[in-house]
Amino acid sequence: MKSYADGNTLRMPDSCQFQAAEREAVLLLCDDQITAFNDAARQLFQASGQQLTTLQHPAQLSPATQPCGKASFEKAELMLAKARAQGRHQFYWLHQRFNGDLFYALVTLTAEDTTESARVQAVVQDLTAQTRHMLDAAMGRLMFSKSHDALMITDSNNLILDVSPAFCQITGYARTETLGKPAGFMRSGVHDQQFYACLWQQLLQTGCWEGEIWDKHRQGHLFPKDLKICAVAGPDGHVMNYLALFSDVTEKIQHKQELEKLAYYDTLTGLPNRALLLETLERKVSTLNQQAGGQHLALAFIDIDNFKAINDTKGHLFGDLLIKAVTARIAALLDQDDFLGRMSGDEFLLIFSASCTLSEVELRLNRILEVLREPFALEDSSQHVNLSIGVSLYPTDGTDCKSLIAKADIAMYHAKKSGGSHVRFYCAEVGAQFFEQSDIELHLAEAISQGAIVPKFQPKIALQHGTISGAEILARWCRQNGDYVAPDKFIPVAEQQRLIHKLSDSLLSQSALCLQQQGITVPITLAFNVSAQQLLDPKFGRDFLALLHHRGLSPQLCEIEITESCLIENFGQAKDCINQLRQQGIKVSIDDFGTGFCSLNYLRSLSVDTIKLDRSFIAELDPQNLNNIIVVKAIIDLAHQLGIRVLAEGVETRSQLHILKTLQCDEVQGFYFAPALAWRDFCQFVSGFDASSIQQLNHNLPHSALAALLADKQ
């Protein structure tokens, strides 16, 4: 007799003839309620004896619904009825443990008789392991036959036992061609023996290996595959089989290469882009920094001169073609170890090999300049190209990428400022100039808005009466730290940054304020310098007159000074603006007269009040230099015949003053009298000026030979 009990020692009747294996779960049902069970049942359902015996129906050991869709209670009643009717009934059932886990079981019901109150023995066999095995087998069959990845099974000697359809599709071999062959029969020859030795060593030690490997297709071409190998142990623990899983990763590698190309190569030229350039330079510099020393490296920053003008004039498509042609021509001149890449636009970096000497670097860069001067034939036109190249050296100019690139860029900028088509090596002087320029560019706008750039007034003297006739307004910038910034440094920057209008307006407003705060007793003309950028602005004349009116300045006491460059860019526009201003009473003078090639033509075509002789003529105004005196006299005489006054700038000696008065020059200015002065100092100069020293100058030249020469010319 077998006893079945829970913790309360419930026993089955001695007359029970039901049979079941000791390991199987057995439940005894009476009137559809569990009255007894064995220990295997309690363990199977993860329950205590009390939990089982308090159940009202065996269907409570199941989820609410069976996989077929029927309610568990209704289907359980049907199964019990069949057992009573047939004496025994076996079926599959989805049970639920008390912890909530579901499991499949094979249930065998055995009944004593056919009455509804008959006792029924339920034997529940857990099918979890069998189900898992069946699922794994089904999945394995499905994977083997349907997987896109290739599967290969070998014996312990690595001879092929079977391959999947995907294997045949990927490799090109039929299944019958592979069976019995060594697994390595498709070796590509790409990997050496050391590679395979390491593979097998890891496989034997760990039981698995994975990585990328190249094999040979049946048609002969090589292909990469992502391979995983697993050793399968037999009952004795020794390797029984090897299972290999792989896929063709050709497209993956190609996609990776395409992404890498997009990330590291310029799409227009095919050259390495900025990212790869910086990465390469960083690697080279890092290697040099780790070495003992004595090594050097040259970095060239290359820029196409006037490329923006070419691009704007002939279009971006032409510009792209030119970029490609230029880089192709440069690349053809490089050694294998040189590294050329495109930084951006028309800027390129060339990293020379560490073995290249400085003399070789200079020689080869000059060769590049020479070859690039040959015109390019593009779109049925011939295009000339010049390059500006700056060079920095490791470790002289820096031991990090940022410093080397910055200093090569500075040297290139210096080459461009020198006229282009040059190679310039970085030096400390060039660097100082560049940083000074950069500092000016950074702070100029703020200096203008804060009024830090102030007007200074340089007196103009009328030679006939020896009186002060006016003053030229000159911009002066003294920074808070006391540093003086020369006008020839910040005025060009103001023009480049389109700040020249704001600067001129600020100077005019400050000058007007000076006149209002502390006037002078004699009327003087204030002369303002005007750039080409201002004069060629269609709104300049109107805006200038409006500003004069707003600041309370009389147009009749104002003069604008223009240079010949204003006229060269657009003579018609300049002429119209000049006529507009003169009609309102504003005087006009041409500054630096005599230094251009078209000055006489301008005098013939323009209506101006004054020409200012360039200081280069005055500096050589010496009794010993008769030719220069003759030229100056000719200019003065010609101007007078055209009804134009002449002012000589840069007068520094009494001898120069004497000659100019003798030649009947109308006005002078220069350090002989005074530099540009602050308004208060200018007012003191005006009030204390003694005209007698000029009035006492006689017309007799201090050099008899000069007087005789001029007499002969007359």
Do the domain assignments include residue 376?
yes
Model pLDDT, residue 710:
57
- Say whether pLDDT at 185 is over 90: yes
- Amino acid of residue 384: H
C-alpha distance from residue 500 to each of 78, 478, 569 (Å): 102, 18, 17
**Same domain? 512 vs 451:** yes
- Amino acid of residue 416: K
Do the domain assignments include residue 231?
yes
Strand partners, 388: 303
**Same domain? 240 vs 215:** yes
C-alpha R_g of the chain: 51
Do the domain assignments include residue 118?
yes
**Same domain? 499 vs 479:** yes
What percentage of the chain exceeds 90 in pLDDT?
40
**Same domain? 290 vs 195:** no
Phi, psi angle pair for 89, to nearest 5°? -145, 135
Question: Pick from 426, 458, 493: which residue ends a domain?
Answer: 426
CA dihedral 481, 483, 486, 489 (to 10 degrees): -70
Do the domain assignments include residue 89?
yes
Do the domain assignments include residue 417?
yes
Cis peptide before 555 (omega within 30 of 0): no
- Say whether pLDDT at 421 is over 70: yes
Model pLDDT, residue 100:
87
Question: Pick from 126, 148, 176: which residue ends a domain?
Answer: 126
Task: Supply the DSSP string of 506-572, one letter for each residue.
Answer: HHHHHHHHHHHHS--SS--EEEEE--HHHHTSTTHHHHHHHHHHHHT--GGGEEEEE-HHHHHH-HH
* 707 alpha carbon, distance to own chain's centre: 70
pLDDT digits (tens, 9 = 90+) for 15-70: 333 444 457 899 998 888 888 889 898 899 998 878 888 888 888 999 999 888 89
* 683 alpha carbon, distance to own chain's centre: 56
CATH code at 389? 3.30.70.270
Model pLDDT, residue 563:
83
**Same domain? 214 vs 302:** no
Distance, in Å, from the CA atom of 615 to the CA atom of 638, rounded to the nearest integer, reads 19
Residue entry with tokens 């700038």: 649
**Same domain? 33 vs 116:** yes
Do the domain assignments include residue 541?
yes
**Same domain? 349 vs 246:** no
Tokens of 677: 């002065």
pLDDT digits (tens, 9 = 90+) for 543-567: 999 999 988 889 999 999 988 777 7
- Say whether pLDDT at 13 is over 60: no
pTM (global) more than 0.75: no
Q: 432-449 burial string, b = 16+ CB within 10 Å, else e?
A: ebbeebeebeebbeebbe
Q: 624-650 burial string, b = 16+ CB within 10 Å, else e?
A: eeeebbeebbebbeebeeeebbbbbbb
**Same domain? 553 vs 596:** yes
Tokens of 474: 């000159």
Domain coverage including residue 233 = 139-253
Do the domain assignments include residue 346?
yes
**Same domain? 313 vs 173:** no
Model pLDDT, residue 133:
67
C-beta of residue 580 within 8 angstroms of C-beta of residue 560: no
**Same domain? 488 vs 631:** yes
Strand partners, 613: 593, 648
Count of domains for the chain: 4
DSSP state of 65: B
**Same domain? 457 vs 420:** no
- Amino acid of residue 675: P
Do the domain assignments include residue 17?
no
**Same domain? 678 vs 607:** yes
CATH code at 99? 3.30.450.20
DSSP state of 351: E
- Say whether pLDDT at 438 is over 60: yes
pLDDT digits (tens, 9 = 90+) for 615-663: 999 999 888 888 889 899 999 999 999 999 999 999 999 989 989 998 9
